[in-house]
Chain A
């Protein structure tokens, strides 16, 4: 059971009329790991998550969450009992107080941890008697997170969990994610906070226009993604550098900048053989990997 992927999809596709939100997605999220799901607004992240949880039906393709088929009604109900989910819009009942909301949630989750709920309530400094509708955006987010973190789930799916949170609250959220991962919970979260993702995630998936463009561990990205800045004594021979691993080449006068997802050594070797005057290799941060990936498409 431990090696069953937390999430696995096969050619998962969702179209709304002529608009294809998610196209042929083959996603695998490993158990016991922290996987970040990045993409611009409208890239298809929330649609993907909603399909995983049976909230919207795929147009074609299929998938499994914790080994349960998402398109099978009975299996989907079963998997939802094991997955804690925080939605992008953090839907809560405005007329309830914080305390009532927590009590309400505790009554229909069999994996509820009352001790954890009260610990988080005081850590998040949420006012128990306050009505949900009068909470600030950050407090609403905290309450939605509390409802997910207070469960003993096998998988946490969080859609933009840091939205509206201040830096202190984000730090706390990340620590909670780390603690849950240490307990063996698989975590799948979407975020625009790339610097945070870069710190805690084991694995990154970048979605653009419904397609999975990057699916790699952060260790891999750190080890292989490189920017190579070259200067030639003549107009740079761009063609010589269109090799495997080179994702993008930019030329300005005698300067050339190569964005490589692998094979940086070959680029350097070629540059030396072609008499480059200056060769500089630098790692690429996740922010630039994201921007380059999105720009290219």
Chain B
């Protein structure tokens, strides 16, 4: 499994790692029962603080996507819910494609669309829900 953390994106590294693991379960790159590297091994590989990996693992365990077994590591636990999530992602992609097409027709440049997306994504999830 390959992970790529970007220190400058304005998103905590543990969240990036969580999203990439979640994404991998949605694409099928990680399957039910697969083992992830131990905290120390992954931290050394990514050259990030072990606390970053530990936080991502424990949050994913809390979400039910990982099972942490004392001494033997982290195991992926993919239930039906995440499979349907993969479907949601597909639907979302189609909707995004339509939206982007529409914005282009309105005369926005790709660079402007990209920046608008990035700016909106910078809001923490809770705030978006409130608005």
Contact = CB atoms under 8 A, between A and B. Distances in A.
Given A182-B40, A226-B122, A285-B8, A33 B115 contact: no
Given A202-B52, A219-B14, A265-B123, A283 B47 contact: no
B46 to A, nearest CB: 8
A84 B48 CA distance: 21
A181 interface: yes
A43 interface: no
Nearest to B8: A285
A226 B119 CA distance: 10
Interface in A213-240: 218-219, 222-223, 225-226
A199 B7 contact: yes
A222 B10 contact: yes
Contacts, number: 82
The A contact surface, by secondary structure, is helix
A226 B7 CA distance: 15
Contacts of A223: 10-12, 124
Interface residues of B, number: 26
A286 B10 CA distance: 10
B39 A182 contact: yes
B9 interface: yes
B12 A219 contact: yes
Nearest to B120: A281
Interface string B1-37: 0000101111111100000000000000000000000
A202 B124 contact: no
Interface of B: 5, 7-14, 39-40, 43-44, 47-52, 115, 118-119, 122-124, 127
Given A175-B47, A200-B48, A265-B127, 10 more contacts: A34-B49, A175-B44, A178-B40, A179-B43, A198-B8, A201-B49, A202-B51, A202-B52, A218-B13, A280-B115
Shortest beta-carbon contacts, A-B, top 7? A283-B10, A182-B40, A219-B12, A182-B50, A198-B7, A285-B8, A281-B119
